[in-house]
């Protein structure tokens, strides 16, 4: 059994050289990144009772970034002191991520693996699943693998896209066909997951939902903001019981 969808891996491997081009194919992710990081850090510091004013305040926290791509989330976490492991099923993505981190003198453990291939059970304090679950082959195996890798009382962040008419219009028709933010075919609407479905799946795996937050693009200010609107992008913060 595997969580790897080879077609999805090939799709992103073709774009791997553009991960760090802020005006390239991953421009939407670069725009999206600050609001995701802000939310994640807020929940981490609250849950682990960390003083955010402290230098390298993520020090001693083991963080796993699944589907890390070129390292867009792994690097900020490492800069704040986290012991980061970034994994991706795409070999080319891992090579790009490793070279970029080396250039920036960051020590990140990058591995060309999927979560079920990792052997370090209950090792991580934090798992980041950001824009990944809509691309995996076997969601049940994927979430079980995450549960096995996370320490008791550890945090997991799962960011994905809701399966609604609004998400079809905005995330596929708008982002791929009209604005051309993403290559056509990046997303399959049928693989999008409703928040209640995701929360039910997480609950079945003994995760408790701590918080759920919508993320919304404001075209007037050309930036992302946090929102109570879950109709398109949303992120779930859950705890391993």
210-216: average pLDDT:
96
Q: Is position 120 within any domain?
A: yes
- At 105, the pLDDT band (50, 70, 90 cuts) reads very high
Q: Is position 22 within any domain?
A: yes
Distance CA 98, CA 102 (A): 6
Q: Is position 178 within any domain?
A: no
Q: Is position 82 within any domain?
A: yes
Q: Is position 170 within any domain?
A: no
What is the model's pLDDT at position 136? Answer: 95
What is the model's pLDDT at position 120? Answer: 85
* 141 in Cβ contact with 110 (< 8 Å): no
Q: Is position 80 within any domain?
A: yes
Residue owning tokens 């070129």: 70
Domain interval for residue 74: 6-162+194-240
Q: How many domains does the chain have?
A: 1
**What is the tens place of the pLDDT at every residue in 31-80?**
999 999 999 999 999 999 999 999 999 999 999 999 999 999 999 999 99
Distances (CA, A) of 27 to 67, 151, 169, 191, 238: 17, 33, 19, 22, 28
What is the model's pLDDT at position 179? Answer: 76
pTM: 0.94
Q: Which helix (H) or strand (E) holds 198?
A: helix 195-204
Q: Is position 154 within any domain?
A: yes
* 29 in Cβ contact with 203 (< 8 Å): no
Q: Does residue 93 carry a pLDDT above 90? A: yes
What is the model's pLDDT at position 187? Answer: 87
Torsion angle in degrees (nearest 10) through CA of 86, 88, 91, 93: -70
Q: Is position 169 within any domain?
A: no
**What is the tens place of the pLDDT at every residue in 145-164?**
999 999 999 999 999 999 99
**Residue 120 maps to which CATH number?**
3.40.50.150
């Amino acid at each position: 059994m595997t969580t790897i969808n080879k077609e999805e891996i090939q799709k992103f491997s073709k774009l791997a050289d553009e991960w760090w081009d802020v005006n390239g194919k991953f421009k939407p992710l670069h725009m999206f990144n600050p609001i995701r990081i802000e939310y994640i850090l807020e929940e981490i510091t609250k849950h682990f009772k960390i003083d955010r004013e402290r230098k390298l305040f993520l020090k001693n926290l083991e963080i796993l970034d699944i589907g890390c791509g070129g390292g867009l989330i792994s690097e900020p976490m490492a800069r704040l002191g986290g012991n980061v492991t970034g994994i991706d099923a795409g070999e080319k993505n891992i090579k790009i991520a490793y070279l970029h981190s080396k250039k920036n003198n960051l020590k990140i453990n990058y591995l060309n693996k999927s979560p079920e291939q990792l052997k370090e059970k209950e090792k991580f304090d934090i798992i980041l699943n950001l824009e990944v679950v809509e691309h995996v082959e076997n969601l049940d195996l994927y979430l079980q693998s995450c549960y096995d890798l996370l320490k008791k009382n550890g945090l997991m962040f799962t960011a994905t896209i809701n399966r609604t008419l609004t998400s079809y219009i905005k995330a596929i028709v708008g982002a791929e066909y009209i604005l051309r933010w993403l290559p056509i075919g990046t997303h399959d609407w049928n693989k999008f997951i409703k928040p209640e479905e995701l929360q039910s799946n997480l609950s079945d795996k003994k995760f408790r939902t701590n918080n759920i937050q919508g993320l919304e693009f404001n075209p007037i200010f050309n930036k992302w903001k946090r929102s109570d609107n879950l109709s398109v992008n949303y992120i779930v913060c859950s705890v391993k019981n």
